[in-house]
């Protein structure tokens, strides 16, 4: 019956088509070329590591995991805000997910939002030369309305976006293209990143957290989790920079180390991080101790500025690889128990 | 008491086996007793009997049974339920019954809180054996048990019962039974003494009463008269109208319906040579007046031809030339080849025998796909009728000779063939591959090579008796494309259609569907190359994709003794599985498997009974063994499997035992479509369905478990593709 129902509409269509031509022997078809009006998608957002001004912003399709084909490009303004426009000459509504990458270039500056950024004081601009290698990213989704207003990027979204890229590489089943599956993936990525940062963020989607320039003390949220995440983002500006290294490079190295771990675990949840990713774990733990100290320093500064003590959630001093592994191994959606009884065989034995 | 009965049951079965093995002259006596007896019918429980008690009768050997009753005895009471039984007379005196009882068909016992959805839903098995060696005129004694083991034991009972039949002449027939039983029922039902009286005044009516250990029950049984149904079929209905127990039982009036269908007469299967001899003798006896003259063959329609469908007889009769041969010439041979290829046989080749005293005729059968012995019978008849020359008949499958039959005549026609001019096959490739110096008079006429063949079959994924539903299923169509390329080489591609029919638990997104559904698409892409080697050894290599795995390489090598009693098979492979799993994200896991299995099959021919033991490393790396008992009834095979395997390196998959009951039948026409249009569409030769469950101790869940004890067995295996479903 089901098959009949499938066949029936086709038959009706076929008969209808036949009907179109009956009695119209002399019909003439004149084709008039129609030039469609190009459709556009405007993506806007704010880039805050500290506020990143004059940085290059590029958009990529979510399927472009190598960020090879730039769909549109622009620059951030002095406030770190940007708007870029993707155009489709076919006129079709632009839907799907897009990566946005923000890279420091020759004239990029970044506001120091840590207690201090090397020689640069809190609230002052870090020059472009110190930002070489800095790159942030995020991912956003268009449902066809033509506008996305909140494709904000910061250190946390960058870490989570890298995790999403790894997930998409690990299996095509990790679908980033539609808003529902993207939101689920963002939450999953957030959980991993939070675990690596040593923070219990619960079910928080890091892409939804309002990250502000922490040099503006009044703007920092009084919510403990939000404040913690904001100050972790800010703390990276205060990382110790080795000789011959830039701040941008130091941040990039940290992001890469996190990416190594997330990629390894996503590809193989049974991976033994302690053994297989020892270097990345060591690198993260070196920075983790700094981050914890820097967050406390920034919180102290803000407390002094606002007269209110900043309440923070605990941040682990060291990240234990097994804690990160547990994030994967503790969430097994296939674990439902089955009913008792027998399984029937497939007609026609064998494979 | 229970232990004593189990011991007695097992001991008696062993006695039967020992007795069978001790005698090569074992003869199956499947005839009904000569004296008149009350017709045995199935009870409302898991055994042949009255209403709720057993008698000493069993399902007739070779019969299949379906029974439905509207009740189920659970713990201490009879409740309204749907109780279905599927039984078979597995061996003389032995009945095996699978049972599915449920109060409601569609309730999800996990989520549905309605009172009627509180259960039970029970899958169980029962067995009963009538002790041999007791003269039938004395009495019969049977022992048995129902709901044998498993996780949820709802209706377990063991019993021993004796029955005596009395012929009351014009007053009808009477059966009196008495026995003892023990069970876990809370009431006295099937505990202690049981007894029954069945009175059959007419062929179609029985009046019966019983004491089931707890209550006295009475009612009627109605039986269809013999002439109403095909031979051997029987439909009966039982009405229990009275019971002394009224408080515990939900009702006093219960109903059951039974249907017995003969699967076969239980006769020993003939060998291919015997089949050919019978066909030859049939043909000769129907032409005796001419044959005894001088090899003079005249085609007539035999009255008692067996194993040959009517079409061949009609075609023989309508053949353009009623041959009257004292000599067989090249022209006769060409005409014969033309006739049999037109008839539908393929790759027909004919040459003189090495001693020039007869012919060698090769042919490939893609016409009679239920049992290739039918093709041998038809071909033997045609040779007898149209050539009447001593012939070595060779059956080909996929270009390989798999069976040799000798056709010898007391007075064969004389071959008159001079100046043999051999013919080459049309196919250049085959010409290249032919390294022999055989001079074929007819060479691969109506070639079976490069003929696309599509086998159509239903495919079912199903769950039986789970908390999700009594019977959940997904039905699809399987289209298997095969093409023979050269001897032993076959392309094999299978496509699974979209779902044609399914229950709600197989709707997309449901837990059952996610875990058990068969996806649409191509799920088998293989190339096979088989070789027939000396000393009854055959081997086949298969490459491609199957079992949802890639990089599949499987070798099956088989040795069989001349009489077919013993077969040893080695099955080994290397396969790569790429699976998408989900933890926090989906990820891809690549598993490599190297199964190594050794099989031994013993055939006890008098009962058409095959026992096969398989041991080694199974498909997914688990090790253990499997025992398969296969019982042939005509072209129907009933299988009982037990297996126990262990994933030693996976602590989550410890040693697990399974038992399953299955059936294999051909789902095709007796005579398939000919390929003279350049292709062939046919039904499946061996469609299998089995119901399987984990064996656990009472109280432990028999969760749906997969992955254990899988074999890298392909549908296109040596037994199936070359050896007539392991009957050659």
- Give the model confidence (pLDDT) of A207-221 as tens digits: 999 999 999 999 999
Identify the helix (H) or strand (E) that includes residue B208. Answer: strand B205-211
Q: Could you report how far apart the first and last alpha carbons of chain B are, in Å? A: 46
Number of alpha carbons in the 13 Å side-chain half-sphere of residue B97: 31
Number of helical H runs and strand E runs in chain A: 8, 13
Instruction: Tell me if chain A has a CB within 8 Å of the CB of B465.
Output: yes
Return the pLDDT at B27.
54
Separation between Cα atoms, residue B22 and residue B17, nearest integer Å = 8
Give bridge partners of residue B664 from the DSSP assignment. B637, B688
Return the pLDDT at B707.
80
Residue B332 has pLDDT above 60, yes or no: yes
- Judged by CB atoms closer than 8 Å, whether chains meet at A171 and B588 is answered as yes
Who contacts B129 (Cβ-Cβ below 8 Å, separation ≥6)? B9, B12, B13, B16, B58, B93, B94, B95, B142, B143, B144
- Judged by CB atoms closer than 8 Å, whether chains meet at A351 and B547 is answered as yes
Structure tokens at B630: 């296969």
Tell me the chain B residues in contact with residue A339 when contact means C-beta distances shorter than 8 Å.
109-110, 463, 466-468, 703-704
Separation between Cα atoms, residue B57 and residue B50, nearest integer Å = 10
pLDDT tier, B26 (very low <50, low <70, confident <90, very high otherwise) = low
Per the model's pLDDT, the better-predicted residue between B405 and B651 turns out to be: B405
Q: Which of B500, B523, B691 sits opposite A342 (nearest CB)?
A: B691
Distance of CA A302 to the CA centre of its chain: 28
Q: How far is CA B192 from each of CA A91, A126, B185, B195, B377, rounded to the nearest angstrom?
A: 85, 95, 12, 10, 56
Q: Pick from A299, A258, A227, A265: which is nearest to A137 by CA?
A: A258
Q: Pick from B63, B131, B133: which is nearest to B93 by CA?
A: B131
Return the pLDDT at B434.
66
Residue B683 has pLDDT above 50, yes or no: yes
Separation between Cα atoms, residue B716 and residue B297, nearest integer Å = 40
Whether residue B119 contacts residue B88, with contact meaning beta carbons closer than 8 Å, is answered with no
Rounded mean pLDDT, B241-267? 89
DSSP B322-351: ----SEEEHHHHHHHHHHHHHHT-EEEEEE
Tell me the chain A residues in contact with residue B524 when contact means C-beta distances shorter than 8 Å.
351
Tell me the chain A residues in contact with residue B703 when contact means C-beta distances shorter than 8 Å.
337-340
Instruction: Tell me if chain A has a CB within 8 Å of the CB of B518.
Output: yes
Who contacts B55 (Cβ-Cβ below 8 Å, separation ≥6)? B40, B48, B49, B142, B161, B163, B175, B177, B196, B198
Tell me the chain A residues in contact with residue B552 when contact means C-beta distances shorter than 8 Å.
351
- Judged by CB atoms closer than 8 Å, whether chains meet at A329 and B547 is answered as no
pLDDT tier, B297 (very low <50, low <70, confident <90, very high otherwise) = very low
Instruction: Tell me if chain A has a CB within 8 Å of the CB of B587.
Output: yes
Ordered strands of the B400-407 beta sheet: B400-407, B391-397, B359-364, B346-352, B440-445
Tell me the chain A residues in contact with residue B643 when contact means C-beta distances shorter than 8 Å.
none
Return the pLDDT at B149.
65
CATH 3.40.50.300 for domain B2-18+49-262: no
Q: What is the least distance, in Å, from the CA of A328 to any CA of chain B?
A: 5
Q: Which chain A residue has the Cα nearest residue B109?
A: A339
Separation between Cα atoms, residue B708 and residue B658, nearest integer Å = 9
Whether residue B582 contacts residue A173, with contact meaning beta carbons closer than 8 Å, is answered with yes
Instruction: Tell me the residue ranges of DSSP E strands in B547-671.
Output: 549-560, 566-582, 586-593, 596-604, 609-617, 623-633, 636-646, 656-667
Tell me the chain B residues in contact with residue A328 when contact means C-beta distances shorter than 8 Å.
583-584
- Judged by CB atoms closer than 8 Å, whether chains meet at A339 and B461 is answered as no
**Which of B293-297, B309-313, B502-506 has the lowest average pLDDT?**
B293-297
Would you say the C-alpha torsion A168, A172, A178, A182 has a positive or negative sign?
A: negative
Q: Which of B457, B499, B546 sits opposite A347 (nearest CB)?
A: B457
Using a 10 angstrom Cβ sphere, with 0-12 exposed, 13-18 middle and 19 or more buried, the burial of residue B203 is middle
- Judged by CB atoms closer than 8 Å, whether chains meet at B586 and A171 is answered as yes
Q: What is the least distance, in Å, from the CA of B123 to any CA of chain A?
A: 6
CB neighbours (10 Å) of residue B279?
A: 28
Ordered strands of the A135-143 beta sheet: A72-75, A56-61, A95-103, A135-143
Return the pLDDT at B251.
84
User: Whose structure tokens read 């997309």?
Assistant: B508
Q: Which of A173, A337, A343 sits opposite B580 (nearest CB)?
A: A173
Identify the helix (H) or strand (E) that includes residue B144. Answer: strand B140-146
Four-point Cα dihedral A288, A290, A292, A298, nearest 10: -140
Whether residue B524 contacts residue B545, with contact meaning beta carbons closer than 8 Å, is answered with yes
Q: What is the least distance, in Å, from the CA of B149 to any CA of chain A?
A: 13
Q: Which chain B residue has the Cα nearest residue A327?
A: B584
Separation between Cα atoms, residue B375 and residue B390, nearest integer Å = 18
Tell me the chain B residues in contact with residue A195 when contact means C-beta distances shorter than 8 Å.
none
Using CB atoms and an 8 Å cut-off, which of residues 99-138 of chain B contact chain A?
Answer: 109-110, 121, 123
Q: What is the least distance, in Å, from the CA of B423 to any CA of chain A?
A: 40
Q: Which fold has domain B453-721?
A: Porin (2.40.160)
Return the pLDDT at A18.
39
- Judged by CB atoms closer than 8 Å, whether chains meet at A351 and B714 is answered as yes
What stretch(es) of chain B map to CATH 2.40.160.40?
2-18+49-262
Separation between Cα atoms, residue B2 and residue A350, nearest integer Å = 40
Tell me the chain A residues in contact with residue B588 when contact means C-beta distances shorter than 8 Å.
170-171, 267
Tell me the chain B residues in contact with residue A340 when contact means C-beta distances shorter than 8 Å.
123, 151-152, 465-467, 693, 701-704
**Which of B305-314, B352-361, B615-624, B645-654 has the lowest average pLDDT?**
B305-314
Distance of CA A33 to the CA centre of its chain: 41
Whether residue B522 contacts residue B541, with contact meaning beta carbons closer than 8 Å, is answered with no
Mean pLDDT score of chain B, rounded to an integer? Answer: 86
Separation between Cα atoms, residue B639 and residue B36, nearest integer Å = 33
Return the pLDDT at B36.
79
Instruction: Tell me the residue ranges of DSSP E strands in B305-413.
Output: 327-329, 346-352, 359-364, 391-397, 400-407
Q: What is the least distance, in Å, from the CA of B624 to any CA of chain A?
A: 19
Q: Which of A336, A341, A349 sits opposite B464 (nearest CB)?
A: A341
Q: Which of B583, B688, B704 sits opposite A332 (nearest CB)?
A: B583
Entry field: residues in chain B: 728
- Judged by CB atoms closer than 8 Å, whether chains meet at A167 and B585 is answered as yes
| Chosen from A187, A190, A349 to mutate, greatest number of chain B CBs within 10 A | A349
Q: Could you report how far apart the first and last alpha carbons of chain A are, in Å? A: 28
Q: What is the least distance, in Å, from the CA of A172 to any CA of chain B?
A: 8
Entry field: residues in chain A: 351
Q: Which of A167, A174, A340 sits opposite B466 (nearest CB)?
A: A340
Separation between Cα atoms, residue B297 and residue B385, nearest integer Å = 6
Identify the helix (H) or strand (E) that includes residue B528. Answer: strand B521-533
| A243-252 pLDDT, tens digit each | 889 999 999 9
Whether residue B407 contacts residue B276, with contact meaning beta carbons closer than 8 Å, is answered with yes
Structure tokens at B524: 């088998």
Q: Which chain A residue has the Cα nearest residue B121?
A: A341
- Judged by CB atoms closer than 8 Å, whether chains meet at B704 and A343 is answered as yes
Structure tokens at A311: 């309440």
Instruction: Tell me if chain A has a CB within 8 Å of the CB of B461.
Output: yes
The DSSP letter of residue A302 is H
pLDDT tier, B426 (very low <50, low <70, confident <90, very high otherwise) = low
Share of chain B above pLDDT 70, in %: 86
Whether residue B478 contacts residue B682, with contact meaning beta carbons closer than 8 Å, is answered with no
Q: Which chain A residue has the Cα nearest residue B152?
A: A340
Q: What is the least distance, in Å, from the CA of B579 to any CA of chain A?
A: 10
- Judged by CB atoms closer than 8 Å, whether chains meet at B692 and A343 is answered as yes
Q: Which chain A residue has the Cα nearest residue B687?
A: A348
Identify the helix (H) or strand (E) that includes residue B271. Answer: none
Q: Give me the helix-helix angle, A179-197 and A278-306, nearest 10°.
A: 90
Strands B205-211 and B609-617, sheet pairing: unpaired
* Numbered residues of chain A with Cβ closer than 8 Å to any chain B Cβ: 2-3, 167, 170-171, 173-174, 185, 188, 191-192, 266-269, 327-329, 331-334, 336-351
Separation between Cα atoms, residue B569 and residue B539, nearest integer Å = 9
Separation between Cα atoms, residue A290 and residue A285, nearest integer Å = 9
Separation between Cα atoms, residue B187 and residue B191, nearest integer Å = 8
Per-residue pLDDT for chain A (351 aa), expressed as one digit of tens each? 344 444 444 444 443 333 334 444 455 666 777 788 899 999 999 999 999 999 999 999 999 999 999 999 999 999 999 999 999 999 999 999 999 999 999 999 999 999 999 999 999 999 999 999 999 999 999 998 899 989 999 999 999 999 999 999 999 899 999 899 999 999 999 999 999 999 988 889 999 999 999 999 999 999 999 999 999 999 999 999 988 899 999 999 999 999 999 999 888 888 888 888 888 888 888 898 899 999 999 999 999 999 999 999 999 888 888 877 777 765 433 322 333 444 443 333 333
Tell me the chain A residues in contact with residue B658 when contact means C-beta distances shorter than 8 Å.
none
Q: Pick from B103, B66, B185, B88: which is nearest to B465 by CA?
A: B103
Number of alpha carbons in the 13 Å side-chain half-sphere of residue B173: 15
Separation between Cα atoms, residue B727 and residue B635, nearest integer Å = 10
């Amino acid at each position: 019956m089901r098959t009949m129902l499938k066949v029936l509409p086709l038959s009706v269509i076929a008969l209808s088509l036949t009907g179109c031509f009956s009695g119209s022997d002399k019909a003439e078809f004149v084709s008039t070329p129609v030039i469609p009006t190009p459709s556009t998608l405007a993506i806007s957002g704010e880039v805050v590591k500290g506020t990143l001004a004059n940085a290059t912003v590029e958009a990529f399709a979510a399927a472009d995991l190598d960020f090879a084909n730039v769909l549109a490009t622009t620059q951030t303004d002095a406030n770190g805000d940007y708007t870029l426009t993707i155009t489709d000459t076919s006129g079709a509504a632009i839907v799907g997910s897009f990566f946005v990458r923000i890279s420091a270039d020759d004239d990029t500056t970044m506001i120091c939002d840590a207690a201090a950024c090397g020689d640069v004081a809190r609230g002052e601009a870090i020059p472009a030369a110190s930002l070489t290698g800095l790159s942030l990213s995020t991912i956003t989704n268009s449902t066809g309305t033509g506008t996305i207003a909140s494709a904000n990027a910061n250190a946390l979204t960058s870490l989570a976006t890298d995790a999403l890229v790894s997930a998409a590489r690990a299996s095509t089943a990790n679908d980033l293209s539609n808003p529902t599956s993207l939101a689920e993936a963002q939450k999953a990525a957030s959980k991993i990143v939070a675990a690596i940062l040593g923070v219990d963020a619960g079910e928080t989607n890091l892409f939804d957290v309002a990250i502000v320039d922490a040099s503006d003390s009044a703007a920092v949220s009084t919510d403990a989790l939000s404040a913690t995440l904001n100050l972790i983002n800010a703390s990276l500006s205060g990382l110790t920079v080795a000789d011959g290294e830039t701040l941008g490079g130091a941040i990039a190295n940290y992001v890469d180390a996190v990416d190594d771990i997330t990629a390894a675990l996503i590809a193989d949840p049974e991976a033994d991080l302690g053994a297989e990713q020892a270097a990345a774990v060591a690198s993260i733990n070196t920075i983790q101790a700094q981050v914890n100290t820097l967050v406390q320093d920034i919180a102290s500064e803000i407390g002094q500025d606002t007269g209110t003590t900043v309440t923070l959630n605990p941040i682990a001093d060291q990240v234990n690889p097994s804690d990160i592994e547990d994030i994967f191994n503790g969430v097994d959606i296939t674990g439902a128990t089955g009913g008792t009884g027998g399984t029937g065989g497939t007609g026609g034995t064998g494979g | 008491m229970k232990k004593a009965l189990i011991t007695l049951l097992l001991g008696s079965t062993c006695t039967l086996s020992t007795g069978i093995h001790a005698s090569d002259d074992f003869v199956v006596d499947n005839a009904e007793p000569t004296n008149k007896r009350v017709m045995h019918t199935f009870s409302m429980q898991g055994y042949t009997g009255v209403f709720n008690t057993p008698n000493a009768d069993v399902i007739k050997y070779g019969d299949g049974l379906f029974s439905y009753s509207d009740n189920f005895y659970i713990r201490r009471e009879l409740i309204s339920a749907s109780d279905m039984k599927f039984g078979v007379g597995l061996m003389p005196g032995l009945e095996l019954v699978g049972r599915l009882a449920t109060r409601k068909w569609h309730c999800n016992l996990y989520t549905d809180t309605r009172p009627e959805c509180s259960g039970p839903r029970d899958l169980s098995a029962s067995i009963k054996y009538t002790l041999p060696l007791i003269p039938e005129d004395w009495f019969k004694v049977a022992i048995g048990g129902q709901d044998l083991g498993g996780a949820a034991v709802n209706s377990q009972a063991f019993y021993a019962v004796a029955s005596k039949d009395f012929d009351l002449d014009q007053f009808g027939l009477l059966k009196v039974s008495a026995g003892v039983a023990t069970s876990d029922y809370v009431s006295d039902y099937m505990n202690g003494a049981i007894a029954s009286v069945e009175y059959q005044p007419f062929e179609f009516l029985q009046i019966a009463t019983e004491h089931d250990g707890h209550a006295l029950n009475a009612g009627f049984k109605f039986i269809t008269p013999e002439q109403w149904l095909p031979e051997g079929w029987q439909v009966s209905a039982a009405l229990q109208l009275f019971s002394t127990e009224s408080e515990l039982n939900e009702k006093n009036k219960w109903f059951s319906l039974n249907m017995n269908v003969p699967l076969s007469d239980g006769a020993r299967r003939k060998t291919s040579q015997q089949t050919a001899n019978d066909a030859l003798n049939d043909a000769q006896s129907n032409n005796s007046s001419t044959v005894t003259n001088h090899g003079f063959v005249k085609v007539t329609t035999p009255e008692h031809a067996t194993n040959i469908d009517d079409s061949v007889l009609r075609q023989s009769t309508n053949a353009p030339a009623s041959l009257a041969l004292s000599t067989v010439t090249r022209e006769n041979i060409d005409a014969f080849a033309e006739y049999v290829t037109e008839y539908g046989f393929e790759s027909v080749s004919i040459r003189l025998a090495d001693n020039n005293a007869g012919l060698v005729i090769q042919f490939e059968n893609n016409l009679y796909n239920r049992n290739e012995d039918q093709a041998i019978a038809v071909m033997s008849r045609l040779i007898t009728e149209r050539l009447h020359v001593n012939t070595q008949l060779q059956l080909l499958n996929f270009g390989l000779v798999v069976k040799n039959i000798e056709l010898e005549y007391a007075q064969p026609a004389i071959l008159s063939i001079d100046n043999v001019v051999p013919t080459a096959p049309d196919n250049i490739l085959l010409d290249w591959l032919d390294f022999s110096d055989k001079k074929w008079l007819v060479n691969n006429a109506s070639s079976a090579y490069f003929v696309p063949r599509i086998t159509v079959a239903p495919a079912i994924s199903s769950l039986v008796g789970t908390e999700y539903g009594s019977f959940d299923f997904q039905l699809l169509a399987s289209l298997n494309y095969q093409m023979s390329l050269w001897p032993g080489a076959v392309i094999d591609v299978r496509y699974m259609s979209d779902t044609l029919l399914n229950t709600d638990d197989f709707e997309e997104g449901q837990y059952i569907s996610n875990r058990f559904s068969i996806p649409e698409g191509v799920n088998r892409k293989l190339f096979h190359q088989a070789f027939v080697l000396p000393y009854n050894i055959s081997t086949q290599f298969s490459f491609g994709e199957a079992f949802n795995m890639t990089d599949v390489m499987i070798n099956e090598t088989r040795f069989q003794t001349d009489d077919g009693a013993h077969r040893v098979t080695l099955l080994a492979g290397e396969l790569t599985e790429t699976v998408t799993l989900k933890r926090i994200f989906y990820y891809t896991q690549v598993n490599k498997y190297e199964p190594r299995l050794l099989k031994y099959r013993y055939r006890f021919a008098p009962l058409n009974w095959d026992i096969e033991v398989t041991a080694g490393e199974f498909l997914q790396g688990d090790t253990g063994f499997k025992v398969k008992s296969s019982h042939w009834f005509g072209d129907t095979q009933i299988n009982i499997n037990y297996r126990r395997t262990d994933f030693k390196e996976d602590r989550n998959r410890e040693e697990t035992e399974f038992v399953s009951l299955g059936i294999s039948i051909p789902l095709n026409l007796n005579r398939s479509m000919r390929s003279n249009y350049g292709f062939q569409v046919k039904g499946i030769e061996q469609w299998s369905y089995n119901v399987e469950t984990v064996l656990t101790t009472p109280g432990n869940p028999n969760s749906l478990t997969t992955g254990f004890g899988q074999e890298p067995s392909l549908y296109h295996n040596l037994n199936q593709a070359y050896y007539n479903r392991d009957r050659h």
